[in-house]
Amino acid sequence: MNKIVEDIFNINPKYSTSISFILGLVLVNDLTAVEQNMLGNWIILLGQTILTNASSQNLIEAKIKGGRININSKKVKSIYNPIIYDMNKIHEIIDKVYPEHEIDLNMITSSLDELKKEIDKLKKTNH
């Protein structure tokens, strides 16, 4: 990903929302009401498609990772609330505010091994 796209994804949500609002106003200047309606609905459909996919992916990732992390919390914002996020810095802040958010891979591996053993036992008893 190039630097410009990375910067777009790292913009503070309030500034990003403001930029979108201004772009929306600029786009409607020379369009008729029918054209505005069509363009708006097309953009909404595009956005809904992206949001639906992202929310499904996010839910699955959250189930895998466990716990909830909120970069919009007062706790995080009191430490770090820039216009453009530095991803390394936000990771440091998240680790500080939510130290228990890391996945315990050893625990997951151990649990999977136990499940495999139980499945093997069930297979043997049913055959």
Token duo for residue 127: 């055959």
| pLDDT confidence of residue 5 | 75
User: How far is residue 127's CA from residue 125's CA, in Å, rounded to a whole number?
Assistant: 6
**pLDDT beyond 90 at 86:** no
User: Per-residue pLDDT for 42 more than 90?
Assistant: yes
Statement: residue 31 has pLDDT above 90: yes
- Identify the burial level of 104 via C-beta atoms within 10 angstroms of its C-beta, where 0-12 means exposed, 13-18 middle and 19 or more buried: exposed
Neighbours of 2 (CB within 10 A): 6
Identify which of 6-10, 24-28, 79-83, 91-95 has the greatest average pLDDT. Answer: 24-28
